[in-house]
């Protein structure tokens, strides 16, 4: 306590790091690597490759991500704010590039820029860029009354990358953008009436998109298939989800044991080290393990809320809340998908899913928020003090 | 913080998110609600396809089974219904049951893949099947199912007509009802009539719980057996034809020939029905259908092309057997040879316009001189056919070349079915070639190697066509069918091996009645001449099959035929050599033709020497004579 008290007196020097965020970050990353190894090893071995092939690559990503987290923690919110226009512009450029022949197509979607050993997925980096841009825009607005002009600017900032991402296509990321934008608008002071009107516009826009046949067939199939599970039990999309639920159900309270998941290891569950990794967790670690993982996520989100409350200015507060909204939405939509609550949208589970770009994005986001924590105001909420 | 409540609201939303997710997890993993409701929501339906028994193939009387289906008990493993921890034990149990090492069964499991349903054993026997059914707890995921297995009770007999059943080829897989695991008819009737023979597979819908255990059967559609094919094959004649062809091969071998194979067909000239069709050496379709063929066996079969039916896929120059076409057209159009006759004018019969002196060779400008196989001396249209005088038919060709429509001969050949598939209901039939000026120009221009590089189509080429040589090729079936049309008075039938296809209730679901390709206008006089000259070939002193038909039997007056000796250029050890392929086409009985027999002994030697004795045996058989041992005939054309 004495040490803490002394540190509080000199706010400009760096404060104690947030051990809760760091601990949950490390714990979730470790669980992710273990599960990736568990579900990929048998298949890799069957293919005559090293059992560690996939997990080794992801370990490199995790190590790099932790470095990103540490570096991002050093940046102050004011520096981030100055960089925001450039970050946003650079992201738009990458999103355009991915649609050009430079971008690579995988699984029927053009989402990647191949960079030798790793593929860059610009739509992932667009997420922090959008959060920073919206925070910068909204922090300068009137807290008591949100003007329609400002709302229009928010919609525009969100819509431009959304349209580019829609071309890829990546429906999941668009939904993330929408949720983050609405959450940040709400926190920044938009009235319920305004939000309701905005959502109404959104629904009308989606309806028009349906009518004009802009939405892809497979996107329709996922959404309608989910709404009507009995109609086409044979369709792949529902098959995936059904298999996932069966795997989860077979986990029981204590799970089948690590590395022992029959259904996930037998490859009944698709994309199991990426989108469906929570299925492997629930099957192998059971209800107990699944709740522990969800608990770690909850703990992390709670710390992000705390950062939002103690941030020294409105920009930092909005960045922290945007990050919370993004992570929370990802977790809920991904886990909801594996449990058959929500349609398959292809959103990965933060920190656990196999994949470099998204891990890096989450680490960056956490790092930025952690940096805000390190420069928090002495009195919670008293952001004008310094 | 003035907007604190807004942050709290967002927090509440997230708490709600987490609560919903945890409740769902609890519902799926902990509560018994999920298992209680799984029949309604997590209920899985497992669809299992039951193979339909394939239809039978019968001979013309419907008495002899040529291809049938035997039901055996198959042991089927469904890996989706076996949990991983029990798989090791299951493999050990199966190994003990089937008496094979566990490693073999493990290998089969691995090859089939995870979650697959596959047949581990085809024929386990009733006792073993019963044992499994009584000990289901030791054999999780194992079911015993009746498995139809294709059987060919006659072995190699009629193999090429029947075909066989095998793994689907690429074009079979384009058919929607065929999957990679199915077996489909290949070649022969099995291939041609596969759609009717294969039946409709049945389906069983099992209800399966989340752990993959079978809860019961929801619906069951039994398979519909394939329809049965009634062929036109006379099975005893078929056997006899095959035996005789093998005898012909032995005969040629004794004679020092490097014979490759023999093919034959027996047609009913009254309706085009194929009574027998064979290509030897043949194969046993069961070996190909049960998948037990070894790599070496397959290589051996491929080398000898035994899968090919040379009765419809073998292209040979019809040689002198083709002379029946210029013979018929000469009689119909009164076209008689005139060339090089000045010095023999005094020898010719002034009352017979067809009279001709065959001095053994003939010259056509800018073409090397043609040499007949023998100096025949004075002949006419009838004796020229009987003694197979090339001279005479060259003369007809040149008469056409100078005085008639130059395509006259080819038009007659095509009318009798040469150069086009006969349209028999068997796959992979070849069309043969009737060379003419256009055909020649096309191949010369495109440098296909089938014709010489220099010089135009000439009278010499037409002379070659007239004796069935040069680029002219035909299948044994085409030659037989052309003779059938001449013998029956001008009706060219489409040959057929299947008469009808009948379902399980013996109702005809597909009928293949005789059908006429075309009728050719030939006079009764021509037909009479033709039949009598066929007899002359076997009966008259100079007839090319005279020796082969000595001692034929009482019905000798009612049989006849025509020899042919095709000279085919064959490359032997960097040396090109003319190798003779033997032909004989027989007709019986001549007063009411019911059988046309065409025999080819590939690289077997002279037609009169090798093919005629084989045909003689078959004609003896169909005329009810005592069949004596076949012996060499005379070395003729």
Residue-by-residue DSSP string for B127-188: HHHHHHHHTGGGSTTEEEEEEEEEE-TTTTTTHHHH-EEES--HHHHTSTT--TT--EEESH
Residue of A nearest to B4 (CA): A309
Q: Convert the pLDDT of each residue in A266-299 to its tens digit.
A: 455 666 777 888 988 888 888 999 999 999 999 9
Report the residue from A188, A233, A251 with minimal CB separation from B29: A251
> Looking at the complex, does the CB of residue A342 fall below 8 Å from at least one CB of chain B?
no
Residue of A nearest to B85 (CA): A262
Q: pTM for this one?
A: 0.61
Task: Decide if B1 touches A, using CB distance below 8 A.
Answer: yes
A323-327, B16-20, B123-127: least confident range: B123-127
Q: How far apart are CA B95 and CA B108, in angstroms?
A: 12
CA atoms within 13 A on the CB side of B468: 33
**A233 close contact with B: CB closer than 8 A:** yes
Bond prior to A169 in cis (omega within 30° of 0): yes
When mean pLDDT is compared across A354-358, B42-46, B200-204, the lowest value belongs to B42-46
A132: closest CA of chain B, how far (Å): 18
Q: Which residues pair with B261 in a beta bridge?
A: B602
Q: What dihedral do alpha carbons B180, B185, B191, B196 form, nearest 10°?
A: -100
Looking at the DSSP bridge assignments, the partners of residue A375 are none
DSSP B26: I
Question: Residue B188: which region, alpha, beta or left (left: phi > 0; alpha: psi -120 to 50)?
Answer: left
Matching residue, tokens 């490693």? B103
Whether B1 sits inside 8 A of A253 (CB atoms) is: no
Contact: A267, B25; criterion CB under 8 Å: no
- Name A119's bridge partners: A114
Q: Is B348 on the interface with A (CB under 8 A)?
A: no
Q: Which residue has the tokens 């049960």?
A: B290
Written as six digits, the tokens of B254 are 């004794």
pLDDT in tens, B584-627: 999 999 999 999 999 999 999 999 999 999 999 999 999 999 88
Which residues are B144's β-sheet partners?
Answer: B75
Beta bridge partners of B496: B273
Q: How far apart are CA B361 and CA B419, in angstroms?
A: 29
Q: Which pLDDT does position A261 carry in this prediction?
A: 59
- Tokens in use for A42? 């048998």
Instruction: Please give the C-alpha separations between residue B481 and each of A356, A378, B416, B491, B597, in angstroms, as whole numbers.
Output: 74, 108, 8, 10, 9
Going by pLDDT thresholds of 50, 70 and 90, the confidence category of residue B40 is very low
Task: Take residue B269 and report the two structure tokens written for it.
Answer: 């000239």
Answer yes or no: is pLDDT of A118 > 70.
no
B18 interfaces chain A, CB cutoff of 8 Å = yes
User: What is the residue extent of each domain of chain A?
Assistant: 17-374
- Mind listing the pLDDT tens digit for each residue in A44-57? 776 778 888 888 98
Using an 8 Å CB-CB cutoff, list chain A residues near B11. 305
Put simply, whether B4 touches A (Cβ < 8 Å) is: yes
Whether residue B30 and residue A253 make contact (CB cut-off 8 A), yes or no, is: yes
Which of B13, B18, B33, B113 has the most A C-beta neighbours within 10 Å, making it the best mutation to test the interface with A? B18
Q: A5: pLDDT confidence band, cut at 50, 70 and 90?
A: very low
What's the Cα-to-Cα distance from B361 to each of B339, B392, B400, B612, rounded to whole Å?
11, 10, 18, 26
What number is the average pLDDT over the span B232-243? 96
pLDDT tens, B444-487?
A: 999 888 888 888 899 999 999 999 998 999 999 999 999 999 99
Instruction: State mean pLDDT over A298-304.
Output: 93
Contact criterion met (CB < 8 Å) for A246 and B42:
yes
For residue B446, the SS3 value is coil
Taking the C-alpha atoms of residue B481 and residue B597, their distance in angstroms, rounded to an integer, is 9
Q: Which of B10, B18, B35 sits opposite A187 (nearest CB)?
A: B10
Chain B nearest CA to A76, separation (Å)? 21
DSSP character at residue B54: P
d(CA B66, CA B162): 8
Give the relative orientation of helices B408-415 and B390-403 as an angle to the nearest 10 degrees: 120
Taking CA atoms, what residue in B is nearest to A185? B6
Q: Does the CB of A237 have a partner CB in chain B at under 8 Å?
A: no
Q: Residue A294 and residue B30: Cβ atoms within 8 Å?
A: no
**Cis omega before residue B424 (within 30°)?**
no
Q: What is the pLDDT of residue A220?
A: 59
Closest CA relative to residue B599, chosen from B248, B236, B239: B248
Q: Does A9 touch chain B (CB under 8 A)?
A: no
Which ranges in B193-234 belong to alpha helices (H)? Answer: 194-197
3-state helix, strand, coil in chain B (%, to 5): 40, 25, 40
Distance in angstroms between the alpha carbons of the first and the last residue of chain B? 117
Main-chain phi, psi angles of B260, to 5 degrees: -100, -50
Q: Check residue B122 and report its DSSP letter.
A: S
Q: Report chain B residues whose CB lies below 8 A from the CB of A233.
A: 44-45
**Closest Cα in chain B, distance from residue A113 (Å):** 33
Nearest-angstrom CA–CA distance, B624 and B634: 25
| Whole-number pLDDT of residue B269 | 97
First to last CA, chain A: 23
Q: What DSSP character marks residue B275?
A: E
3-class DSSP assignment, residue B291:
coil
More confident residue, B209 or A319: A319
- Chain B residue numbers with beta carbons less than 8 Å from the beta carbon of A187 are 3, 6-7, 10
pLDDT, one tens digit per residue, over B510-550 is 999 999 999 999 999 999 999 999 999 999 998 999 999 99
Instruction: Establish if A332 touches chain B: CB-CB under 8 angstroms.
Output: yes
Q: Could you tell me where in chain B the CATH 3.90.1310.10 domains are found? A: 68-153
Taking the C-alpha atoms of residue B636 and residue B613, their distance in angstroms, rounded to an integer, is 13
Q: Which of A26-30, B390-394, B455-459 has the lowest mean pLDDT?
A: B455-459
In this structure, the strands spanning B491-494 and B261-268 are unpaired
Cross-chain residue pair A294–B22, CB shorter than 8 Å: yes
d(CA B56, CA B150): 9
pLDDT score recorded for residue B209: 57
Across the interface, which of A266, A298, A301 has its CB nearest the CB of B114? A266
The C-alpha of B179 sits at a distance from chain A's nearest C-alpha, in angstroms, of 18
Nearest-Cα residue of chain B relative to residue A252: B29
Between CA B469 and CA B461 the distance in angstroms is 9
Instruction: List residues bridging with A380 in a β-sheet.
Output: none
Q: B-chain residues within 8 Å CB-CB of A194?
A: none
User: Is residue A23 very low, low, confident or very high in pLDDT (cuts 50, 70, 90)?
Assistant: very high
Chain B: closest CA distance from residue A305 (Å): 8
What lies within 8 Å, CB to CB, of B406 at 6+ separation is: B400, B437, B462
Cα separation, A351 vs A335, whole angstroms: 13
Interface of B with A in 43-102 (CB under 8 A): 44-45, 83-85
Chain B residues touching residue A380 (CB < 8 angstroms)? 1
- Which of A245, A268, A308 comes nearest B28 by C-beta? A245
Kindly tell me if the per-residue pLDDT of A383 is higher than 50: no
Mean pLDDT for B4-21 is 89
Distance in Å, alpha carbon of A283 to nearest chain B alpha carbon: 9
Mean pLDDT of chain B: 88
Which of A135, A249, A287 to mutate to test binding with chain B, by most B CBs within 10 Å of its CB? A249
CB pairs < 8 Å spanning A and B: 103
Our CA-based measurement puts residue A175 at a distance from the nearest CA of chain B, in whole angstroms, of 16
Give CA–CA dist A349/A334, Å, rounded.
Answer: 6
Chain B partners within 8 Å of A188 (Cβ): 3
Tokens of A71: 């570096």
Per CB-CB distance under 8 Å, the chain A contacts of B114 are 266-267
State the average pLDDT over residues A29-47. Answer: 84
Rounded distance, CA B421 to CA B478, Å? 8
Q: Which of B19, B25, B79, B141 to mutate to test the interface with A (most CBs of A within 10 A)?
A: B25
Give the best residue of B28, B35, B111 to mutate against chain A (max A CB count within 10 A).
B28
CA A219 to chain centre: 20
B83 chain-A contacts, CB cut-off 8 A: 262
Structure tokens at B256: 């020092």
Architecture per CATH, B68-153: Alpha-Beta Complex (3.90)
CA A374 and chain centroid, separation = 22
Model pLDDT, residue A191: 86
Q: How many residues does chain A have?
A: 386
Interface contact A336-B21, CB threshold 8 A: yes
């Amino acid at each position: 306590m004495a040490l803490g008290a002394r540190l509080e007196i000199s706010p400009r020097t760096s404060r104690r790091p947030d051990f809760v965020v760091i601990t949950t970050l490390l714990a979730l990353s470790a669980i992710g690597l273990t599960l990736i190894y568990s579900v990929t090893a048998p298949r890799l071995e069957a293919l005559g490759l090293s059992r560690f092939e996939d997990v080794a690559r992801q370990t490199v990503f995790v190590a790099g991500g932790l470095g990103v987290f540490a570096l991002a923690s050093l940046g102050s919110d004011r520096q981030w704010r100055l960089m925001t226009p450039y970050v946003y512009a650079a992201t738009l450029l990458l999103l355009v590039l991915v649609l050009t022949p430079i971008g690579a197509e995988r699984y029927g979607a053009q989402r990647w820029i191949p960079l030798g050993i790793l593929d860059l997925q610009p739509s992932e980096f667009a997420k922090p860029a959008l959060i920073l841009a919206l925070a910068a825009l909204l922090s300068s607005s009137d807290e008591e009354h949100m003007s329609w002009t400002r709302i229009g600017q928010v919609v525009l900032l969100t819509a431009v990358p959304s349209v580019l991402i829609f071309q890829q296509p990546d429906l999941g990321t668009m939904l993330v953008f929408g949720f983050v934008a609405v959450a940040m608008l709400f926190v920044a002071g938009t009235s319920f009436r305004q939000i309701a009107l905005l959502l109404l516009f959104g629904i009308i826009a989606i309806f028009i998109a349906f009518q004009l046949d802009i939405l892809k067939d497979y996107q329709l199939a996922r959404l309608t298939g989910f709404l009507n599970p009995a109609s086409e039990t044979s369709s792949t999309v529902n098959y995936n989800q059904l298999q996932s639920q069966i795997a989860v159900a077979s986990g029981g309270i204590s799970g089948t044991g690590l590395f022992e998941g029959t259904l996930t290891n037998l490859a009944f569950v698709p994309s199991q080290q990426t989108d469906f990794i929570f299925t492997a967790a629930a099957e192998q670690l059971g209800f107990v393990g699944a709740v522990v993982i969800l608990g770690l996520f909850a703990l992390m989100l709670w710390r992000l809320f705390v950062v939002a409350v103690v941030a020294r200015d409105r920009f930092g507060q909005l960045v922290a809340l945007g990050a919370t909204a993004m992570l929370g939405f990802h977790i809920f939509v991904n886990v909801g998908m594996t449990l058959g609550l929500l349609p398959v949208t292809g959103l990965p589970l933060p920190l656990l899913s196999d994949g470099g770009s998204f891990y890096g994005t989450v680490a960056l986001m956490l790092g930025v928020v952690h940096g805000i924590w390190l420069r928090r105001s002495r009195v919670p909420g008293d952001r004008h003090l310094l | 913080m003035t907007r604190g409540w807004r942050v709290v609201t967002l927090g509440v939303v997230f708490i709600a998110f987490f609560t919903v997710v945890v409740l769902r997890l609890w519902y799926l993993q902990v509560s018994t609600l999920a298992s209680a409701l799984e029949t309604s929501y997590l209920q899985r339906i497992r669809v299992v396809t039951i193979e339909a028994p394939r239809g039978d193939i019968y001979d013309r009387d419907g008495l002899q089974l040529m291809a049938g289906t035997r039901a055996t008990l198959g042991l089927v493993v469904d890996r989706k219904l076996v949990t991983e921890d029990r798989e090791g034990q299951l493999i050990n149990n199966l190994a003990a049951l089937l008496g094979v090492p566990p490693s073999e069964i493990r290998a089969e499991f691995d090859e089939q893949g995870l979650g697959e349903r596959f047949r581990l054993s085809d024929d386990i026997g009733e006792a073993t099947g019963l044992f499994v059914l009584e000990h289901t707890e030791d054999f999780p995921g194992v079911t015993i199912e009746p498995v139809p297995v294709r059987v060919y009770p006659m072995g190699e007999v009629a193999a090429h007509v029947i075909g066989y059943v095998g793994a689907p080829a690429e074009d079979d897989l384009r058919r929607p009802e065929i999957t990679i695991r199915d077996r489909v008819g290949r070649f022969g009737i099995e291939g041609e009539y596969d759609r009717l023979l294969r039946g409709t597979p049945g389906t069983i819908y099992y209800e399966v719980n989340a752990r993959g255990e079978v809860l019961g059967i929801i619906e069951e559609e039994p398979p519909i057996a394939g329809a049965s094919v009634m062929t036109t094959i006379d099975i005893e004649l078929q056997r006899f034809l095959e035996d005789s062809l093998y005898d012909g091969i032995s005969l040629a071998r004794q004679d020092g020939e490097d014979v490759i194979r023999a093919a034959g067909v027996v047609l009913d000239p009254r309706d085009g029905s194929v009574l027998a069709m064979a290509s030897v050496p043949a194969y046993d379709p069961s070996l190909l259908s049960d998948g037990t063929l070894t790599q070496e066996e397959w290589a051996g079969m491929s080398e000898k092309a035994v899968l090919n039916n040379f009765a419809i896929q073998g292209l040979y120059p019809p040689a002198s057997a083709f002379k029946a076409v210029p013979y018929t057209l000469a009689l119909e159009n009164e076209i008689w040879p005139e060339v090089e006759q000045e010095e023999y004018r005094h020898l010719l019969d002034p009352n017979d316009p067809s009279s001709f002196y065959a001095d053994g060779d003939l010259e056509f400008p800018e073409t090397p001189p043609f040499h007949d196989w023998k100096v025949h001396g004075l002949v006419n249209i009838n004796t020229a056919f009987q003694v197979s005088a090339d001279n005479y038919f060259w003369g007809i060709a040149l008469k056409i070349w100078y005085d008639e429509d130059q395509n006259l001969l080819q038009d007659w050949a095509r009318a009798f079915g040469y150069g086009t598939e006969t349209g028999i209901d068997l796959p992979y039939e070849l069309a043969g070639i009737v060379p003419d000026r256009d055909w020649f120009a096309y191949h010369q221009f495109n440098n296909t190697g089938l014709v010489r590089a220099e010089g135009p189509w000439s009278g010499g080429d037409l002379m070659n066509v007239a004796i069935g040589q040069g680029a002219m090729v035909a299948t044994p079936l085409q030659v037989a069918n052309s003779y059938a049309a001449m013998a029956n008075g001008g009706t060219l039938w489409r040959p057929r091996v299947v008469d009808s296809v009948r379902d399980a209730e013996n109702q005809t679901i597909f009928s293949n009645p005789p059908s006429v390709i075309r009728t050719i206008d030939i006079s009764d006089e021509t037909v009479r001449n033709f039949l009598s000259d066929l007899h002359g070939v076997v009966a008259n002193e100079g007839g090319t099959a005279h020796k082969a038909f000595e001692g034929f039997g009482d019905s000798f007056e009612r049989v006849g035929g025509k020899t042919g000796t095709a000279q085919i250029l064959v490359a032997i050890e960097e040396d090109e050599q003319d190798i003779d392929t033997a032909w004989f086409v027989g007709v019986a009985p001549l007063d009411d033709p019911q059988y046309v027999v065409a025999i080819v002994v590939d690289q077997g030697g002279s037609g009169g020497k090798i093919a005629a004795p084989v045909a003689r045996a078959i004609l003896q058989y169909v005329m009810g004579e005592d069949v004596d041992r076949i012996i060499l005939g005379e070395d003729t054309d």
